[in-house]
Structures are given as C-alpha cells and as structure tokens.
C-alpha cells in the first residue's frame, strides 16, 4: 500500500468537514420537522378552507424532506466499487434539488410580500423579474464547466468536487439568490415601518412586527447564504461547495417555520377579532381592503 501524501490527508480532512456540514444541515432539517409537526397538524392539516396554501406548504416541506433524505443515503452510503458509477449523477441531483428548493422558497416569499403590499402589481413584477434572473443563473450553474478535479484517494460515500469555473457559476447563482433575499427583507422592513408610521399598528412595536412578518427569518437566510458565497470564493476544490447543501436545508427550515408561525398568529387574530370591524389579515399586518382581496390572500 502506498504511503499517504499530504494532499491525501488534506483531502480526507476536508471531506470529513464537508460531510459534517451536510450532516448538520440534515439533522437540523429532521429535528425541526418533528419539532414543528404538532403545529403543522394544528394549523395546516385542519385548514380545509386553505387548500392551495396547504398544498404549496406540503410540497415545499415534504419535497425537501424526502429529497434530502434520499440524497443523504447517497452522500453517506458506503457503495461498492462496481456501483460507484451512480456517484457521478449525485452531483447533478444535488444541484437540481437545490435549484428546485430555492425556486419554491422564492415563490413563497414573493407571495408573502405581494400580500403584504395589498397585491400591488408593481411589487409583483419587481419580484418576478428578480426571481427569473435567479432561476436562470441557478439552471446555468448546474451545467458542468471546467475540468473535473481528480479525487486523490477513495473514501466511503460519494465525493463531489467542483472545478473553479463551476464554483464561480454556483457563486453567481447564490449571489442572485442573496440579492432576492435582501430585496424581500428590505420590502418587509419597509412595510412594517410604513404601517407603524401611519398608526395602523398601534398595539405593536416595530421590532415585534418585523419579527412576526419574517424579517428575522429572512435575515438568517441571508447570513447563511453570505457565508456560502464566501466559501465558493475562498474555499479550495474540496470545500468550495461545502455550505451549498447546508444553506438550502436551513432555508427550508426557516421558511416552513415562518409559514407555520404566521398561520398560528393568524389563527389567534381570527379568534380574537371576531367582533372587530372587517379587515384583511395579511399575516399580522392588517389593511382595510375589500372582502374579495381578503379571501384571495387567505387561500395562501
């Protein structure tokens, strides 16, 4: 047996760190699923009048859950040499899963902000254009680019390495995703400030309203995504994509929690405001709008 070189040891170390980051994201995803299952049953399964919103939530939650569990078996499985050929497909599968997850998450955020701005078409088109650019870059990033890095030693599981050219493409896609998240965060904070300034929400502080309407969730997604982008530029071929899968899973956790928390707050508001004048309850931001608009938003 040949002696291991310093490059072999470095690859093994980076591989272990890469696997640990992927496992951490998976553990958070699974743990949060069981932690919020009771809320899901209470506020989603029993909401028979919100079929479209529930279907969208189920697709996001369970597509991400099942997809990440399936890829985890490929990532951490100890395959025999004769079936290692499936590993070359894992790279594309992970990329495709991340693109679809981020697309669904982006649509969820767009619908949320669109409702917050009372279905303003200008806001919708702004967000749709930003999302279209992000999806295009995401699809472009999955296309192979540059020579495939050589794996120095064989380790359990599938080793997925990205060339420098590929990592730059992926970084560009995540940068567009970050720009969309920052845009949504800014629109959310501005709307909360606007409603507080106009005295439409006298019973809540600005910070409370910002938290309730997802600003903190968006901020967490932005920070994790920023770390992911920096890793693409600063990491070597062994580590450049180490945070991509982790970021995608954390994003799913944040959005599902946001959806469930907003439904919980909306449920409380509906019960407590039964004798109040008619308003449109957009999550926790309340606007004096038509009944038709309220019914349309409530479906999501």
Please report the pLDDT score of residue 205 as a whole number: 52
Domain range for 265 is 10-179+219-270+277-298
Question: Are the C-beta atoms of 87 and 158 separated by less than 8 Å?
Answer: yes
Q: Mapping DSSP to helix (H, G, I), strand (E, B) and coil, where does residue 281 land? A: strand
Relative to beta strand 285-287, strand 280-282 is antiparallel
Residue 209 lies in a domain: no
In a domain, 294, yes or no: yes
| Helix segments in 47-86, DSSP class H | 51-76
pLDDT for 109: 87
| Residue 63 maps to a domain | yes
Query: What residues contact 231, with CB distance under 8 A and at least 6 apart?
Result: 239, 240, 241, 242, 243
Q: Which helix (H) or strand (E) holds 282?
A: strand 280-282
Domain count, the chain: 1
User: Is the model's pTM score more than 0.75?
Assistant: yes
Supply the pLDDT for residue 44: 85
Q: Look at residue 278 in the predicted model and tell me its pLDDT.
A: 41
Q: Does 204 map to a domain?
A: no
Report the distance separating Cα 284 and Cα 188, nearest Å.
12
In whole angstroms, what is the distance from residue 233 CA to residue 45 CA? 43
Integer-rounded Cα radius of gyration of the chain: 22
What are the angstrom distances between the C-alpha of 41 and each of 47, 114, 253?
Answer: 9, 26, 17
Query: What is the model's pLDDT at position 6?
Result: 76
Q: 74 and 158 in contact (C-beta within 8 Å)? A: yes
Which residue stretches of the chain are H helix?
A: 6-35, 37-40, 51-76, 87-116, 121-142, 164-197, 206-212, 215-234, 244-272, 291-298
Q: Where are the alpha helices (DSSP H) in 41-156?
A: 51-76, 87-116, 121-142
Residue segments in the chain with a per-residue pLDDT below the cut of 50: 1, 270-299
Quick one: how far is CA 229 from the chain centroid?
15
Could you tell me if residue 214 is inside a domain? no
């Amino acid at each position: 047996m040949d002696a291991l070189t310093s490059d072999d040891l470095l690859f093994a170390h980076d591989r272990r760190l890469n696997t640990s980051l992927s496992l951490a994201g998976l553990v958070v995803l699974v743990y949060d699923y069981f932690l919020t299952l009771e809320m899901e049953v209470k506020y989603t399964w029993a909401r028979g009048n919100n079929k479209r919103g529930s279907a969208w939530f189920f697709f996001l939650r369970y597509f991400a859950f099942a997809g990440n569990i399936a890829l985890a078996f490929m990532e951490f499985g100890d395959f025999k040499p004769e079936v290692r050929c499936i590993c070359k497909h894992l790279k594309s599968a992970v990329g495709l899963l991340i693109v679809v997850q981020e697309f669904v998450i982006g649509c969820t955020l767009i619908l949320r902000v669109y409702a917050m701005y009372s279905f303003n078409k200008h806001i919708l088109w702004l967000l749709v254009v930003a999302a279209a650019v992000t999806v295009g870059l995401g699809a472009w990033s999955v296309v192979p680019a540059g020579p495939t890095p050589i794996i120095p030693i064989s380790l359990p599981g599938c080793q997925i390495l990205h060339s420098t050219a590929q990592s730059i493409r992926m970084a560009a896609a995540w940068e567009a995703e970050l720009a969309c998240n920052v845009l949504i965060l800014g629109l959310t904070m501005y709307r909360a400030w606007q409603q507080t300034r106009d005295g439409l929400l006298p019973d809540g502080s600005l910070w409370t309203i910002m938290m309730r309407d997802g600003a903190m969730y968006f901020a967490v997604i932005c920070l994790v995504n920023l770390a992911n982008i920096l890793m693409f530029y600063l990491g070597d071929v062994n580590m450049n994509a180490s945070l991509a899968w982790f970021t995608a899973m954390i994003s799913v956790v944040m959005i599902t929690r946001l959806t469930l928390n907003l439904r919980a707050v909306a449920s409380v508001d509906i019960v407590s405001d039964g004798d109040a004048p008619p308003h449109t309850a957009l999550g926790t931001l309340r606007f004096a709008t038509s009944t038709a608009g309220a019914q349309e938003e409530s479906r999501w």
